[in-house]
Structure 1
Amino acid sequence: MEKSNSQKIQLGIFVIIGTLVFLAAIYFVGNKQNMFGNTSNLKAVFANVNGLQPGNNVRYAGIDIGTVTEIEMINDTTININMLIDNKIMHHIQKNAVATISSDGLVGNMIVNIIPGKGVAKKVENGDVIQSYSRIGTDAMLETLNETNKNAALLTADLLKITNEINQGKGTVGTLLKDSVMSRDLKETIHNLKETSLGTVKSIDNLNHLILSLNQKDNVIGVLNDKDVAVKMKNIITNLEKSSAEIDKVVTNLNATVVNIKEGKGALNYLSNDENLVKKIDSTMTNLNGASGKLNENLEALKHNFLFRGYFKKQAKEKAKSKTTK
């Protein structure tokens, strides 16, 4: 009877301990899965979940805030992920947040990492779908790395081939390295180019100084840059244009006069073309000269006449008096 009671006691203790362990396991698992707290749902859409499974953690800014509850495949490029998020963190998440799938360490489980968005936006609500960003998976990186290794191997082989040809003196580079004469010529050419470059720099400096000196007022270009001089030059040109127009009018009139003379119109035509008229004018001038001489002789005779001698003396005195007063 005593043995039976001890067995019952052991059995009771075992059941109690098992029950406590079961309740503790349920508590820890439920606490981890946010089964006993106030939670909300968030969704994200990915093209590839990279091995993510229900029950994996969800992190926001490096803090565990929930778990993945469901992964639903819509088609071959669309996969919906439902996440259970603690309400204490929900009011910190904005609608411009971005969800990504990454690994928990180098070889850890896959997790959903929610990255805060830039700027200010509204807070998420229960059932909202946030933006997502699919990172390059390990397989894609390994495939890219494999292609890179192949290209590097081909590049190394080509580089080795080129190096061998250079060492053998083949090609332009090999010839330059092996041929001392060509190397010396190339060195001289580079030296000449250097000297030419220095000369060009000096010429450009001189040209810059010349251009700067043109803006000074002690030369022609500098004077022309003065606004007052420019206005004066403009006025001179305007006056020249007006004078040119007047000269054109005078030339036109002169041309008309010459045409009239050539066509026999006007007195000048008669003077230049009528010989009889010219002879008459010459004879008239000769007669006038003769009459003038005779008139002078008569005046001289009158001066000596006793009737007019007093008058002429009076005139001479008045002229002398006027000269002295001046």
Structure 2
Amino acid sequence: MKKSSSQKISLGLFVILSTIILIIALYFIGNRQNLFGKTFKISAVFNNVNGLILGNNVRYSGINVGTVKNINMINDTTICVDMIIEEKFLKHIKKNAVAGISSDGLVGSMVINIAPEKAFAAPLNPGDTIKSYSKISTNDMLETLNTTNDNISLLTSDLLKITTNIQKGKGTLAMLLNDPDLATSLKNTIFNLQTASKSASNSLTEFNSIIKSINYDESLSAVLLSDSIAAIQMKSIIANLDTSSFGIDSVITNLNELVLTIKNGNGTLNYVVNDTTLVNNIDSTVKNIKEGSIRLNENLEALKHNFFFRGYFKKLERKKAKEEKNKKYKSEIND
């Protein structure tokens, strides 16, 4: 049975419409991936999107949570990117999250990675704009590498000049490397420094042993070092000595003035000290007194043997002998 032309037209239109609907559905599914689920929108502002296009994935902590819905260029340095995120991830994304653009592998498409912050923050609300950071572009990296290469070239040139001067014996470093006498002197200096440091270390060890050997209970040095009362007394003694020194100085000055007065004056002391005639007279008087005492002793001895005074002197001798005998007797009794 042959089909009518109207049936053929209807069948063609049905096939065409079905094909169009299928293509549209595949387009939305492939680009948005969330056509039939609940979603919410958030935004982030970048200076450079680095080739990001509509439909690129949005990841949170490495998990695909949405896609890029819209890219608007606000000005020459500000680009706003709108993202569609599945609603089930809303409670996990916080307001302090940070968005960044990176590539999916070495040659993959661009993706937006949202990284959580460790600090506590409130959950994100639909329509919020989160912070962002711009990844260094390939051109910036190439410019940095170019600058680095220029610096390396200059550094290599300077190093070449330095090594050339060293080989030619110019500068202190070249002398240290090429002059054996200077190297020997430097070695001797280092050896002397080592010896001095060892001596200083030994001296410190001995000093520590001396400090440790001090008897802080009995020795005078410990008292001087640790007894505050002794320190105050020592300070007082030093102050008294200082005061006494001023007094002694004053006494010496007075004595000097007295000596000068005696030497230059007309008083008795000056006469006694400086008059030689008076000295001779005094000497003669002393000699006469001595001779008179000798003659007096001789006269007394003559009186002892005289007939008239002999009995008196014998009586004195007997009295003296009796006193000595009593004295001796008393000492024997006491013994």
Question: Structure 2-normalised TM-score?
Answer: 0.69
C-alpha contact (below 8 Å) 1:58/1:111 kept by paired residues = yes
Q: Distance in 2 between matches of 1:319 and 1:85?
A: 144
What per-residue deviation string (whole Å, max 9, x for no partner) do you get for residues 213-241 of structure 1? 23322999999996435469966676355
Q: Which moved more, 1:228-237 or 1:51-60?
A: 228-237
Q: Which runs of 5+ in 2 are unaligned?
A: none
**Aligned-partner SS, 1:307:** helix
Change (3 A) 1:14 1:117: same
Alignment partner, residue 311 of structure 1: 316
C-alpha contact (below 8 Å) 2:169/2:178 kept by paired residues = no
Q: Distance in 2 between matches of 1:173 and 1:227?
A: 64
Change (3 A) 1:321 1:147: same
Change (3 A) 1:284 1:48: same
Q: Distance in 2 between matches of 1:154 and 1:243?
A: 76
Q: Distance in 1 between matches of 2:215 and 2:178?
A: 49
Q: Distance in 2 between matches of 1:222 and 1:90?
A: 79
Shift of 1:310: 1.9
C-alpha contact (below 8 Å) 2:97/2:114 kept by paired residues = yes
**Aligned-partner SS, 1:263:** helix
Q: Distance in 2 between matches of 1:110 and 1:92?
A: 23
Identical columns (%): 37
Correspondent of 1:253 among 243, 251, 254:
251
Change (3 A) 1:71 1:301: farther
Q: Distance in 1 between matches of 2:143 and 2:281?
A: 128
Q: Which runs of 5+ in 1 are unaligned?
A: 177-181
What per-residue deviation string (whole Å, max 9, x for no partner) do you get for residues 1-51 of structure 1? 54239847955873685487358537735861x344333332222111222
C-alpha contact (below 8 Å) 1:216/1:222 kept by paired residues = no
C-alpha contact (below 8 Å) 2:56/2:67 kept by paired residues = yes
Kindly provide the amino acid, as one letter, of the partner of residue 318 in structure 2. Answer: K
Q: Which moved more, 1:71-80 or 1:143-152?
A: 143-152
Q: Distance in 1 between matches of 2:153 and 2:211?
A: 71
C-alpha contact (below 8 Å) 2:58/2:65 kept by paired residues = yes
**Aligned-partner SS, 2:3:** helix
What per-residue deviation string (whole Å, max 9, x for no partner) do you get for residues 56-89 of structure 1? 2211111111222232333222222222222322
Change (3 A) 1:30 1:80: closer
2:206 corresponds to 1:213? yes
C-alpha contact (below 8 Å) 2:101/2:113 kept by paired residues = yes
C-alpha contact (below 8 Å) 1:100/1:112 kept by paired residues = yes
Query: Aligned pairs, how many?
Result: 312
2:74 corresponds to 1:67? no
Q: Distance in 2 between matches of 1:127 and 1:225?
A: 87
Shift of 1:252: 2.0
What per-residue deviation string (whole Å, max 9, x for no partner) do you get for residues 84-118 of structure 1? 22232222223332211112222332221111223
Q: Distance in 1 between matches of 2:290 and 2:256?
A: 32
Q: Distance in 2 between matches of 1:219 and 1:20?
A: 101
Kindly provide the amino acid, as one letter, of the partner of residue 207 in structure 1. Answer: A
The 5 Å alignment of 1:138-287 reads 138-146=138-146, 148=148, 172-173=166-167, 186=179, 190=183, 193-194=186-187, 197-198=190-191, 200-217=193-210, 227-230=222-225, 239=237, 242-264=240-262, 268-273=269-274, 281-282=282-283, 285-286=286-287
Alignment partner, residue 41 of structure 1: 41
C-alpha contact (below 8 Å) 1:56/1:110 kept by paired residues = yes
C-alpha contact (below 8 Å) 1:42/1:126 kept by paired residues = yes
Change (3 A) 1:81 1:218: closer
Change (3 A) 1:277 1:318: same
Kindly provide the amino acid, as one letter, of the partner of residue 117 in structure 2. Answer: G
Alignment partner, residue 179 of structure 1: none
Change (3 A) 1:21 1:73: closer
Shift of 1:119: 3.2
C-alpha contact (below 8 Å) 1:95/1:121 kept by paired residues = yes
**Aligned-partner SS, 1:3:** coil
Q: Distance in 2 between matches of 1:316 and 1:254?
A: 56
C-alpha contact (below 8 Å) 1:215/1:225 kept by paired residues = no
2:173 corresponds to 1:134? no
Kindly provide the amino acid, as one letter, of the partner of residue 319 in structure 2. Answer: K
Kindly provide the amino acid, as one letter, of the partner of residue 57 in structure 1. Answer: N
**Aligned-partner SS, 1:207:** helix
Kindly provide the amino acid, as one letter, of the partner of residue 206 in structure 1. Answer: S
Alignment partner, residue 102 of structure 1: 102
Root-mean-square deviation (CA, aligned residues, Å) is 4.7
C-alpha contact (below 8 Å) 1:93/1:123 kept by paired residues = yes
